[in-house]
Amino acid sequence: MPVPTDLYRPSLALLTDFYELTMAAAAWKSGIAGEEAVFTLSFRKNPFEGGFTLAAGLESVIDHVSRHRFDASDLAYLAEQRDGHGKPLFEPGFLEYLGRLELAVDVDAVPEGTAVFPWEPVLRVRGPVIPCMLLETPLLTLVNFQTLIATKAARVCLAAGGAPVLEFGARRAQGFDGALSASRAAYLGGCAGTSNVLAGKLFGIPVKGTHAHAWVMLFDDEREAFRAYAGAMPGNCVLLVDTYDSLAGVERAIETGRWLREHGGELAGIRLDSGDLAWLSQEARRRLDAAGFERTAIMASNELDEHIIVSLRDQGACIAAWGVGTRLVTGADDGALGGVYKLGAVRRGGGPWQHRVKLSEQSSKTSVPGVLQVRRFRHDGVYLADCIYDELTGLPAAPTIVDPTDHTRRREIPAGTPGEDLLAPIFRGGRLVYAPPALEEARRHAARELAALHAGVKRFVYPHQFPAGLERNLFDLRTRLVLEARGLPAA
């Protein structure tokens, strides 16, 4: 399948926060550029008050890291930056360094579509401090948004219970890039297709759609409009029936369906876009069935989300396909996934790694030190628990998992419980060592992941909290570092 190779040329190296560059300049100047660091990208809360999150954005991360370079125009722009005294902010030597910079980093990440939970490392970057810092902003930009939308899509598709969900969001998306990456993430999360034609071309997503109210309004009456559309699209005819009156529109759609049959076509569906979708869909179904159009599908749209879809199904709505736009591609009601990128350890001159922890008044914001990995344990195809551990100390044969927000909540994992590490090697020394799966495969992976989660984790109201926490030695190390940093005696 085609990849979006030409969308963002040249490199987007400047798409980083200014402070990453001022820190890079200071690191270069102060001689710590040769030191190594390891950073972890994780989030602290599942979006949408939900019980799970689906990781997305890795393919864009790979693309960004692979083509990262500061070109002459980037360097010229940086050379223009002045400090408060009107002097150049960046020294020529630093800019030359940036011009030669290659991101010789190791990146490990969970594959796209993997179910992930708060605190877990979703992605890890290890290498010289400057490249690690420069990547903070773009990696968060890419992973936070796409993960949010993939998770929203998974929720909407779970609500639809297997009926197809089409993503109709481009017109309400956050800009062109928001539209494209939302379409991709929505497909990854389970949507059956998109109305966004460029996303279809770039990512190989099936493109689908009906017609707008404007089509009907272009004609003097609805009958004429339906007939013209059906004549032009006999094999792809879904008629929007609510421009003037939904049920009268259904009657005209039935007439058009009869006409289509006489001309070798078939009315594929109707779309309802306003009013009481439960009642209208039942009444439309009754009329279509009575007229011999049992196979004509009823599609609904109109500011839908997972909660409205659940409610409509509970009310017995006869809706076979869902068109979901605004609330899907904007991740309503969560403006963003709150992913963060935190330093876990540093190493000087090839010596031993030294753990680092960031304190916060809010214990949920205290970072997790180490070179983090996560082991997922399972039983009979169902996920049991996730154990976040430090590769520097390793994982005991029978680990104890401690909930970082309540250390009295613990889970013992018996030795021999099957499980696997989630972070896979993506780059080694800046060289790509991972073959990203095709989007279709990532989508199948997401579906398998959702199937392996207990139903309680997927419910929308007060979901069960999946046991994901810190391996006990890591939890103890973190506690010790926090006490040390606060100048308190060890517990």
Ligand X SMILES: Nc1ncnc2c1ncn2[C@@H]1O[C@H](COP(=O)(O)OP(=O)(O)OP(=O)(O)O)[C@@H](O)[C@H]1O
Chain residues that interact with ligand PRP, rule: CB under 6 A? 168, 171-172, 273, 301-304, 323-327
C-beta of 36 vs 273, nearer to ligand PRP: 273
Residues 283-302 that bind ligand NIO (CB under 6 A): 301
C-beta of 66 vs 326, nearer to ligand PRP: 326
Residue 280 phi, psi dihedral angles, 5° rounding: -60, -40
Task: Answer whether 228's CB lies under 8 Å from 260's CB.
Answer: no
Task: Answer whether 399's CB lies under 8 Å from 377's CB.
Answer: no
Half-sphere exposure of 5 (CA within 13 A, CB side): 3
Q: Which of 141, 146, 181, 195 binds ligand NIO (CB under 6 A)?
A: 195
Task: Answer whether 302's CB lies under 8 Å from 147's CB.
Answer: no
d(CA 437, CA 134): 26
Q: How far is the CB of 246 from ligand X (least distance, A)?
A: 9
Q: How distant is the alpha carbon of residue 111 from its chain centre?
A: 12
Q: Which of 24, 133, 288, 308 binds ligand X (CB under 6 A)?
A: 308
Q: Using CB distances below 5 to 8 A depending on partner kind, what does residue 277 bind out of ligand NIO, ligand PRP, ligand X, none?
A: ligand X
> Angle at Cα 86 formed by Cα 85 and Cα 89, nearest 5°?
95
Cα maximum dimension of the chain: 87
The string of DSSP codes covering 420-436 is EE--EEEEETTEE---P
Residue 333 as a binder of ligand X (CB under 6 A): the answer is no
Q: Using CB distances below 5 to 8 A depending on partner kind, what does residue 311 bind out of ligand X, ligand NIO, ligand PRP, none?
A: ligand X
Residue 303 as a binder of ligand X (CB under 6 A): the answer is yes
Residue 325 as a binder of ligand NIO (CB under 6 A): the answer is yes
Residues 242-301 that bind ligand X (CB under 6 A): 274-278
Residue 200 as a binder of ligand NIO (CB under 6 A): the answer is no
Residue 323 as a binder of ligand NIO (CB under 6 A): the answer is yes
Q: Using CB distances below 5 to 8 A depending on partner kind, what does residue 209 bind out of ligand PRP, ligand X, ligand NIO, none?
A: ligand NIO
Task: Answer whether 71's CB lies under 8 Å from 11's CB.
Answer: yes
Residues 447-466 that bind ligand NIO (CB under 6 A): none
Strand partners for 214: none
Residues 334-353 that bind ligand X (CB under 6 A): none
The string of DSSP codes covering 46-63 is -GGG-S-EE---HHHHHH
Q: How far is the CB of 310 from ligand NIO (least distance, A)?
A: 21
- Cα–Cα separations (whole angstroms), residue 414 to 400, 403, 419: 9, 17, 11
C-beta of 302 vs 417, nearer to ligand X: 302
> Angle at Cα 165 formed by Cα 290 and Cα 307, nearest 5°?
95
Residues 206-235 that bind ligand NIO (CB under 6 A): 209-210
Q: How distant is the alpha carbon of residue 181 from its chain centre?
A: 9
Q: How far is the CB of 209 from ligand NIO (least distance, A)?
A: 3
Residue closest to 42 by CA, chosen among 442, 428, 386: 386
Q: How far is the CB of 277 from ligand X (least distance, A)?
A: 4
Contact positions toward ligand NIO, by CB under 6 A? 168, 195, 209-210, 271, 301, 323, 325
Contact positions toward ligand X, by CB under 6 A? 274-278, 302-304, 308, 311-312, 315
